[in-house]
Amino acid sequence: MPPAPKPVPKDYVPVFFPKRQGGAGASGGAEEARTSIVVVGHVDHGKSTLIGRLLADTGSLPEGKLEAAEKASREEGMPLEYAFLLDALLEEQAQNITIDTTRIGFRYEGQSFEIIDAPGHREFIKNMVTGAAAAEEAVLLIDAKEGCKEQTRRHGLLLSLLGVSQVIVAVNKMDLVGWDEARFRELEKEIREYLGGLKIIPRQVIPISAREGATIMRRDSKNLGWWKGPTLLEALVASRAKKASGDEGPLRFSVQDVYRFDERRVVAGKLESGTIQVGDPVVFFPDRKTSRVKTIETWGENQASTRVGAGRCVAVTLEEQIFVERGHVGSLPDHPPVESREVRARIFWLDAEPLRLQAPVTLRLGTQSVETRLVAIDRVVDAEKLEAVNEAREEVGRFEVAEVRLRCRRPLVYDAHDQVAATGRFALQRGSRIGGGGIIIFAEYSLSLAKAVKGDHLTWTEGRVTSEARAGHFGHEGAIVWLTGLSGSGKSTIAVALESLLFRRGIGSMILDGDNLRHGLCADLGFSIEDRAENIRRAGEVAKLMAESGLVVISSLISPLRKEREAVRASSHSAGLSFAEVYIDAPIEACEKRDPRGLYQKARKGEIRGFTGIDSPYEKPENPDLILHTDKESVEDSVAKLLAHVLGLVQLKEKDQESAGGPGGQI
Amino acid sequence: MSYLQHLEDQSIYILREAFSNFKNMAMPWSMGKDSNTLIWLAKKAFAGKIPFPLLHIDTTYEFPEMLSFREWARKHYELDLIVMINEEARKRGVGYETHDPVTVTHELKSAALQQALAKYKWDALVTGIRRDEDSTRAKERYFSPRTAENEWEYRDQPPEFWGQFTTAVGPGEHVRVQPLLDWTELDVWEYVRREGIPIPKMYFAQNGRRYRSLGCWPITKSIESSVDTLEGIVAELKTTKTSERAGRAQDHHERNAMQKLRAKGFM
């Protein structure tokens, strides 16, 4: 033991104060970029060995590491095992498999890389996912002798889900197949076909031998003289992915928290996409309140920032004091995210216990955390063949990938993954454990921004009766049938007829009539553009509530503007409701001739102003679900067509009826 | 965006996620370069105020220079600093004079931490560990759960991806929050230089020797170096092949010493 250190003199200054080199945003040191590479593939195809070899060949091992690996190899009674450089944990050395993901850095030709070693054993897929999700590039290893195995394919599938599209395939252990080119070409063809099905085009397929050090850093002209392509390291250096900054995307500011440590009220969060600058009007979803950015806080900086870009974690203060909390998402008004309770996604499940239909899980997206249920499994993907599994499924099992629909207890703010990746992917948590994740494959963007919510601290209450249980109880689903067309086109006639027909079939239905609404709920509204828009919004909200309660709502309003009808459609879909836009198409001449209430006559005389079709526009639906030509066909024919369409929407499939279990089921 | 900037933002994100998700967190603080970088990052994350206490586990084998630094930092950063000593073990005579370094490290660091956890009932601890320090640390998670016995179940770690971490724990359990996991030793020094973060003088050469990593004085060796500037440290690191913790005796006492220490609660 060394002698005890002497006490320090009273005037000792223990601190070194470095000169500041520029702070945040400054180009930081030599390490301008670092590429993360995940190495994946089937168990025993040589991942850890490859990584050990990469580190040894590039001279990236700290002193003593190689010796330690040699010593460990001797203790286990085997020749030098490159894998021991990484497989540091005891269990791994004993079983010679990688349990958990490991990361280690190396430099080659002035470039900086970080390798993530992901386990190939089936049991450790959750660790593989953890590793691969953090990577920008992947090296998929295949054993030349064994060929593509179960985990080779599954890892390929997971890479595509995790958004790692930059892939290099290395066909390893070429020494074990006598360095045979024909065998290599055969495997190359097979893996290219498989990855092609996942829309992954491998950058290179390279023959290597990690144990022998062939085509890793050095060429092996003796054995692999036929290989004219790059070495693995050459391919890595050449293919270094150019990272998109994400600044070009729409603003998505995930609020982490609101701090009030002093007189300031600071909104802290992450810019998932886009840029934010002082003065920007930021709309915070899901409440849709707007406030301008007053300052961007930068502790320790000499100069205040006025603009920051994607990836940055910032804190801002706002001009207008609006209610914002963790889980809110800031956006600019022109490119809002989707706000919906319905999520269509491709998910992967990692937990031993399967994810069952209707079972509650927590969906975590950015800083949002929402209770959700799996309401439909559209297809389960077979990793082997990339085809849908045939049988109908009630659950998604461990390591399975499936296309599903989820329904959240309250609205979730999100994007489609191919629009904004960071707000288009999520984790699923059951209890306290993350059990899986997924990417959102569909998002219905609204053409207009819905109204801001005025109240603060609102919560979303949901009863125990699920919509499936209601459907089971009533024997049909709720839906909104939205009739639109000119005054006199026949909306009311058709609505009345449809309502009776449905009712006779035991289907609960109700007409929502424009004029009737104006006697009560909308009595305060006139006929200005704003008031007419508000009238439609209210009608839409009422229709939603009624449809959610299980009724088939037949709305009969002129609803002349496309934008407003689309808003009701999007809002219905986000509540998980079927919505059918039905265009009651009759030429204005025919309508004017019918003029059941004498309104056209009054409008022509100028007694009514702003009459649709006369001095106010009617925008025909662009893609209606159904068109009824009431001037050409009989009322009976029109109604019969409509009835068939509506029954298709609301009648339960046999399977649903069973799973709903009749009245009171699923509660 | 530079890589250092990416690291800074990621660490800030992690610190804030921890603070929002846990009720009662604390930050063990060893006064070294990583610890001081963490203070700096926490200041940035929380707009200038560190909203949780710091814990210094005093092994009673601290360098006097470091204790002096501790008192300076306490005032400078207005830290809410708790100092914890395993008095019970010291009374039993546990010390480097008589025991092996793995035992002493376990008793005076891990057991002391356990005592502090029992007393303050923290549900999350922010650590400054990095993957490049040691191969078992390389396998860590940003949010790494510990059992009520303060043990690390490295065989069955939860998945962690897309910024979604393990944020719920059972009674008596806690989560290690590790914002510097992706940083390398070089990154830390580059960042200290970029930001101008005050650090202990002991990292700089005096009489031809300096410390690369700081721990208990009986088991921490200085290295031969004349480097007395940050630029010098960065340059030295770029060429060295010696590992950072080579001067820390407890890591090398036996094969897999770090893994055994860490499974039992060592940082």
Nearest-CA distance B10 → chain A (Å): 8
Could you give the percent of chain A with pLDDT greater than 70? 90
The amino acid at residue B204 is F
Task: Tell me the pLDDT tens digit for each residue of A377-434.
Answer: 998 887 777 777 767 889 999 888 899 999 998 889 999 998 998 999 999 999 888 9
Helix axes A150-162, A181-197, angle to 10 degrees: 40
Residue A135 at interface with chain B, using a CB cutoff of 8 Å: no
In chain A, positions 150-179, which contact chain B (CB-CB < 8 Å)? Answer: 162
Residue A134 at interface with chain B, using a CB cutoff of 8 Å: yes
End-to-end CA distance of chain A: 70
What distance in Å separates the CA atoms of residue A463 and residue A176, rounded to the nearest whole number?
A: 63
Cβ separation A311–B6 shorter than 8 A: yes
Q: Where are the domains of chain B?
A: 3-184+254-263, 201-252
Pairing of strands A360-365, A368-381: antiparallel
pLDDT value at position A122?
A: 64
What mean pLDDT is predicted for residues B154-178?
87
Higher pLDDT, B169 or B104: B104
What mean pLDDT is predicted for residues A19-24?
68
What distance in Å separates the CA atoms of residue A285 and residue A315, rounded to the nearest whole number?
A: 17
Cβ separation A432–B170 shorter than 8 A: yes
Cβ separation B44–A299 shorter than 8 A: yes
Q: Where are the beta strands (DSSP E) in A302-444?
A: 307-308, 313-318, 329-331, 338-349, 355-356, 360-365, 368-381, 395-396, 401-414, 425-430, 433-442
Closest CA to A167 of A273, A117, A239, A114: A239
- With contact defined as beta carbons under 8 Å apart, do B219 and B189 qualify? no
Where do the domains of chain A lie, and which CATH numbers do they carry?
35-238 (3.40.50.300), 252-331 (2.40.30.10), 348-442 (2.40.30.10), 467-654 (3.40.50.300)
Q: Estimate to the nearest angstrom the gap between the alpha carbon of A470 and the chain centroid.
A: 29
Residue A664 at interface with chain B, using a CB cutoff of 8 Å: no
- With contact defined as beta carbons under 8 Å apart, do A135 and A159 qualify? no
ipTM score of the complex? 0.90
What mean pLDDT is predicted for residues A590-607?
88
Higher pLDDT, A70 or A486: A486
DSSP string computed for A538-571:
HHHHHHHHHHHTT-EEEEE-----HHHHHHHHHH
Residues 6+ apart with CB under 8 A from A607: none
Query: How high does pLDDT run on average in chain B?
Result: 88
Task: Tell me the pLDDT tens digit for each residue of B112-150.
Answer: 999 999 999 999 999 999 987 777 777 888 999 888 877
Given a cut of 80, whether residue A117 has pLDDT beyond it is: no
Given a cut of 90, whether residue A124 has pLDDT beyond it is: no
Helix (H) or strand (E) holding B175: strand B174-177
Q: What are phi and psi of A65, to 5 degrees?
A: -70, -45
Report the chain A residue with the minimal C-alpha distance to residue B204: A16
- CA-atom Rg of chain A in angstroms: 32
What distance in Å separates the CA atoms of residue B53 and residue A300, rounded to the nearest whole number?
A: 21
Given a cut of 80, whether residue B252 has pLDDT beyond it is: no
What distance in Å separates the CA atoms of residue A304 and residue A24, rounded to the nearest whole number?
A: 11
Report the chain B residue with the minimal C-alpha distance to residue A92: B155
Task: Tell me the pLDDT tens digit for each residue of A312-326.
Answer: 999 999 999 899 999
Return the CATH class of domain B3-184+254-263: alpha beta
What mean pLDDT is predicted for residues A4-18?
88
DSSP string computed for A65-91:
HHHHHHHHHHHTTSS--GGGGT--SHH
Residues of A in contact with B238 (CB under 8 A): 30
3-state class (DSSP) for residue A324 = coil
In chain A, positions 550-589, which contact chain B (CB-CB < 8 Å)? Answer: none
- Per-residue pLDDT band at A79 (split at 50, 70, 90): confident
The amino acid at residue A61 is L
pLDDT value at position A657?
A: 46
DSSP symbol at A123: G
Residue B159 has a CB neighbour count (10 Å cut-off) of 25
pLDDT value at position A614?
A: 86
- Per-residue pLDDT band at A275 (split at 50, 70, 90): very high
Quick check: bond before A202 cis, omega within 30? no
Residue A352 has a CB neighbour count (10 Å cut-off) of 10
The amino acid at residue A454 is K
Buried b (16+ CB within 10 A) or exposed e, A451-487: eeeeeeeeeeeeeeebbbbbbbbbbbbbbbbbbbbbb
What mean pLDDT is predicted for residues A535-558?
94
Residues of B in contact with A264 (CB under 8 A): 47
